Structure 1
Amino acid sequence: MRELDLLLQKFLASGLRSLGEDDLDRLERLLLEPDQDILAWLSRAGEPDDADMRAIVNIVRGQIEP
């Protein structure tokens, strides 16, 4: 999914280095989710039910949103 790839590339270029070990684990879990779910969460069309997933989604959003 091209849109998701672009969002994640932006995050990886700017925010990856700031993640601690727990957040890296959360990011790994996030990337195992279906692409359409990740895109919906990052574009604020939905929210993950899991608190840890919401935490990493919010971190990624903070790096990719203007």
Structure 2
Amino acid sequence: MTGFCINCRVFAVAITLDGADIPAVHTRYRISNRKGELILDGRSNDAGEAGLSINEMPDDSTIQPLRD
């Protein structure tokens, strides 16, 4: 079974563009670590959220919204 994780905590990060308080719905994003190594490419949901498990996102990671 892929994507299965025991005792993983999942959280959602709200993505907004240009400092606005409006959620960036269905927006592509890229998560990378401090070295610039790719962790995850994805697309936000209807609420502008990116759902990740703690195991996927180290403390030094950044989320960058991408233009389609």
Greater helix percent: which structure? 1
Alignment TM-score, normalising by the size of structure 2: 0.27
Decide which structure has the larger Cα Rg and report it: 2
Higher relative contact order (CA 8 A, sep 6+): 1
More strand by share: 2
